[in-house]
Structure formats: C-alpha cells, structure tokens
Amino acid sequence: MASIETPIMQPLRAIAGDWKLLPSFMPVPGMGALAVNSLVLNCSEPLLVDTGLAALRDDWLERLGEVVDPVDLKWIWISHADADHVGNLAALLEVAPSAKVLTSFLGMGKLAMAGIRPERMQIVEPGGLLEIGGRRLLPIRPPYYDAPETLGLFDPGDGLLFTADCYGALLPGPVERAEDAGVQALREGMVQWSAVDSPWLGQVDRDGLGATLKAFGALAPQCVVSSHLPPVAGGLETLSPIIFNAWCRNGGGPADTFHVEAVADVLHAAA
C-alpha cells in the first residue's frame, strides 16, 4: 500500500448484483488514507449513494457517467451532510434535472441551509421502506456515526449493506478490497477511525452497543460497503467483532482526551 499526498479516484467496480462502486481515497496527514465511496444502483430508476469529493469533481463525474448519464439519474441518496458525502451534490443537480435527493428530516434541514431547494428532496427515515426500480430498499441507522441525520441502507435483493461512516478505517494507503490491508492494519485502522469519527463511543452503554451490533449482523448481508472502507464480501463477521472488542470489552476503547472530565482535571492541575 503506497501512501498518497492528494485525493485519487480509482476505477469503477461492480460489487454486488446491479450495484457499482465509485471508489476514491483522500490523504489524512499523519494518519494514512481514507476511502471515500459513492455507489450506483443501475436499475430502471438509477440511484446514486453520496456524491464524493469536490476535489475530484471532474474525475468523479466521469466515473458516474460510465454507469449512468446524469440526465437519467432518478434518485440521490445522501447518507449525511458532511463535505465528503455532498461534495458534488449541487453540481450534479444542475445536470440531473429529474433526480430527487433522499435524506432524513434533519438531513433535509442541513441541505436546505446549504442551498438545496426543498422541492428537490424527499424525506426517508429508518424503519421505512423505499421501492425503487422494482426493488425494496430499507433505510437503516448504523450502529455508530458522526452525524445524527445518518442513514445507511440495505438491499435485500442483492444482499448489499451500506453503512455510511460506520465500519470505516484509516489505512496506510489505497487498496481495492478491505482484506488487502491486512488483519492488523484493518483492525487498527477501524479502531482509530471510530475513535476520531464517533468519539462518543467511549461514553456509550457497552451492552447497548453490543446488542445493536448483533442485531445489525442479523441482516446477513452478502456485501458490506462503508463510506470509508473498500467493500467487504460476505457478512459482518470480520468487521463487527473489531468494534465490539474495541468498545464493548475491558472498559471500552481508547480514552477520549477531550472528555469534559479530562479537561476539568487539566484545568485543576494548572490552577
């Protein structure tokens, strides 16, 4: 795995059934590289999941065009409103006149404040059911996340589970498959990313998180795609135990040095 200094776009890849992956990586100085994935469901009502990095706009739009002409795009699923997920949304909506944005209630509010017109959006929430192109997609809230509007999705037909930031990892460099990173690098990268992206995991009820991870596994996906990790074939048997062992055992994961009690101790010591 070679390190990178600028964002890079990788070739388009088929991953599960009618799903295609638009993979990219961005450098995280001092920490490695982070995958930034978009997905396309190539069906009678083409659906895009997240819109990639603005820094890669031309390359990203070119990759998208290899799957679907933006004019034919019907749906754009926005998992949450972070810049690495909505980087090309405004530009895409200009060339995709028929596309409607799917996001949660809070996501709609954030996108509206960013200038996306409400009539271009439709609210979806966990527990609902979305019928698109002759198949059913289930909006789902991942076990952990960095933004409260986050929505993953599960496609039972093709067995694909999209988990947004959940199960992401900081890796030494770009790879095509998660397993190509190696067991140790994957484990360390997932723990490091979860600590950075979801620092509240250090304060969460460990039994509750463990139960959520177990329930998530009951979906029995055949392909797992995080926004920030290359695809993992099979179920969650590799990924969920890493998070469980990091945050649900032995008092939880890495200490949050910015926790309010830690700050108070520093101030007290300096007094």
**Prediction pTM value:** 0.92
Rounded to an integer, what distance in angstroms lies between the CA atom of residue 37 and that of residue 53? Answer: 9
Q: In this structure, what token pair is assigned to residue 168?
A: 């992401």
Rounded to an integer, what distance in angstroms lies between the CA atom of residue 112 and that of residue 119? Answer: 10
Instruction: Give the pLDDT of residue 235.
Output: 83
Share of residues in the chain with pLDDT > 70 (%): 92
Helices 183-197, 239-247: inter-axial angle, 10-degree rounding: 60
**For residue 77, which phi and psi values (nearest 5 degrees)?**
-85, 120
Query: Domains of the chain by range and CATH?
Result: 8-270 (3.60.15.10)
Instruction: Give the pLDDT of residue 3.
Output: 83
Rounded to an integer, what distance in angstroms lies between the CA atom of residue 252 and that of residue 208? Answer: 12
Q: Could you tell me the CA-to-CA distances from 139 to 17, 21, 124, 129 in Å, in that order?
A: 19, 19, 7, 7
Please list the alpha-helical segments (H only) found in the chain: 57-67, 83-86, 89-95, 105-113, 183-197, 206-217, 239-247, 260-270
Instruction: Give the pLDDT of residue 216.
Output: 92
Instruction: Give the pLDDT of residue 251.
Output: 54
Instruction: Give the pLDDT of residue 234.
Output: 84
- Determine how β-strand 47-49 pairs with β-strand 75-77: parallel
pLDDT (tens digit per residue) in 134-183: 889 999 999 999 999 999 999 999 999 999 999 999 999 999 999 999 99
Produce one character per residue of 137-153: b if its CB has 16 or more CB atoms within 10 Å, e if not. bbbbbbbbbbbebbbbb
In the predicted model, residues of the chain with pLDDT beneath 50 are 255, 257-261, 263-264, 266-267
Give 8's Cβ-side CA count (13 Å radius).
Answer: 15
Q: In this structure, what token pair is assigned to residue 135?
A: 């198949």
Amino acid, single-letter form, for residue 112: A
